[in-house]
Structure 1
Amino acid sequence: MTKFANSTLLVTGASGQLGRIAVEELLARGATKVIAGTRDPSRLADFAARGVEVRKLDFNDAATFESGFAGVERVLIISTSEIGRRIAQQTAAVAAAKAAGVRHIVYTSAPAARPDADAGLGPEHFWTESAIFASGLDFTILRNHMYAENTLMDAAPTIASGQLYGLVGDRGTSYVTRADTARTAAGALLSAQGQTIEDVTGPAPVTNVERAALLSELSGKPVAVVPLPPADLEAGMVSAGLPDAFAKVLVAFQRDAVAGYHGVVTDVVERYSGRKPETLADMFNANRAAILS
C-alpha cells in the first residue's frame, strides 16, 4: 500500500547503506515528495539530480533541525552509527520532529530493546523508543533483527579455521538483510498508521550449527561449532583484534540468541515491502566470490 505516497516524507541518514535503499524504494513505489536528510548533502547529488530534495540534517548539530524537519509529515529516523552518542542524538531529533509538526515517526530499532546495562545496544534503542512514545506522535517502531550481512565479517576466517565460535545454548537468529529492512522501512513510511511495534525478521531462525553447515556447504570444507561461555567468547574476540566495547556488544547479541529473543519470525518484511525476506543461504550465495576469495 502507498496511502501516504503524496505526503512529505523524510529519510534521515539517507547517504548511508540503509538510507539509500529506503529512498530508492520510496521513489520506485511512487512517493512524490521525498526528502533525503544527510550531514553532507554533497554525497546525495545523484538523488538531487533525480528530483529528491536534499537537506542538511546533522544529529550532532541542532541548528540543522528546524530547516531539516520543516514541512515534514512523516519521517524515517534511521538509528545513527555513533554508538554511545545515540540516545542524545536521537531523542533530540524526536523532539525536533515533534516541534516541526511531524505526524508519524518510523524508527529502526532492535529486538528486545530494554534498559539493562548488559543488553548491548538495547539501552540506546530503549530510550529512543521511550522518547518517541512520550512524544504523543503516531509511530512505527521497526525492531530490525541481526543484519545478515554482519555474518560476512567472520565468514572467510571461519571457513579458513574450520571453527565457528559461539555461546553455549544458541537458539537461533532470524537474520534479515539490510535491503529487506530498508524496503520494509520505506513501506512503513508509505502506509503504516497508528502506534505499533514490529519485529523485522528473516524467514527462519538460524542456529550457529546451521550457519556452520551453510558455510561448509558453500566452501566444501568442514566447519565445526565451538560453544563457549560468554567470558571466553568475549576474550577470544578481543584477542582476535576486536575492540573490547564491540566485543561486549556482539556477546550481548549472542546472549539474547540463547535467551530466544532473536528467534522470532514475523511477516513484517513481506507485509510492508511486498517481498518475501531473503534467506541467509541466499545472502551467502550472493556473496560467494567475496567469501571465498
Structure 2
Amino acid sequence: MLPDKLIVSGDVSALHVSVREAIEWELMLRDGDVSPEQRAQFESWRLADPSHEAAWAVLQARLARFSALKNASGTAVRRAVDEPSHARRRLLKVGTGVAAGVLAGVGARELIKVFALDADIHNSNVAAKSVALDDGVRLTLGASTRVYLPRKQTQRDIVLASGQIATAAYPGASGFVEIGTRDGVIQTRNARLSVDALHMHTVVAVQGGGAILKSRKGELVRATNGTVWSLSMQRIEQMPETSADVFAWVSGTLIVLDRAVPDVVETLGRYFKGYIYFPSAATNRRVSGVFPLDDVEASLRQLAEGLGLTLNFYGKALAVAS
C-alpha cells in the first residue's frame, strides 16, 4: 500500500492501464451481485502493484465529489461508457465545458470527466507539444495536459481539464479567446496567456495585452500586461512572479517565487510520470527557485534539499522525500 500523502501525477497516459482497470472494477462492484471470489480477485488486484492502489484511491477520492454516482448502476455506467466518443463529448460539454447531466447514465459521464478520457486534445509526453486549431490559433501544451474545444459562433472556447497551456494572440479582430478551468474563466482579445490548472487554484500569466479573469463566485479582475494571477473559486489574487517567469515553462524551465510546495510538486509530477511523496510538514511550506523540466529527477532533488529533506527514487514509479 502507498502512503496516504501521495501527490499523484495527473497524466492519464502513464496510468492508462491502471486507471482503466480501476474503472472496470468500479463498474463491476457497483452492480452489487459480486461473488466472494470476485471480491478476492479485486483485493488481489489492488495489492498486486502500487499503481493499482494509487489509481483506485485517486478514483474514489474524486468520485466522492459526484453525488449523482451514488445511485447509478454499473449497467447504466457501462452503457454510457460504451457510447461513441463524440456522443460522450457532446454530453460532457455544457456551457464552459463543465459536465452535468440528468439521465440515468450521468454517473458514467462524470466518471469519464474525472480523468478527461475523451479530451479533444491531449499531451501525454514530457516535452511541450504545439498544436494549431482550425482557425489558426496556436496552443502549446505542457506535459499531462488535456483540453476540450467546444465552439461558439463568435469566439473560441478552450476548456482546460488538466495541465498547462500557452496561447498565441487571437488573429481575428472580431473574436476572442475564452479559457475555462474548474476555478473560473479567462478572456482576452490580444494577449498571450499561460494557464495552469493546479489542484488548489489556476495560475494565469498575461503577456502582450490585457485579459479579464472571472471566478466561479463572480469576482472579476482586469489583468494587465506582464502580471500573474491566482484564480480560485473563492478569490482572485496577484502573484509575485512576472509573466516572463511563468512563460519560461514553454522553454523547459519552471520559475516560482514564494510558491506553495504542493504547486511545485504537482507541476514536477506531470514530468516525472510517477508518484511523489513529501511529508505534510513540507507541503505546508513555500519555496522560490528555478527548476529544469527536462531533468525532473534533479529538480525534485533540488526541491527536497531546499526543504532540508532527502529524496529517494524507487525506479521510475515512486519518489519519497523524508
TM-score normalised to structure 1 length: 0.26
Between Structure 1 and Structure 2, the one with more helix by share is 1
Q: Looking at both structures, which has the greater relative contact order when contacts are Cα pairs under 8 Å and sequence separation is at least 6?
A: 1
TM-score normalised to structure 2 length: 0.24
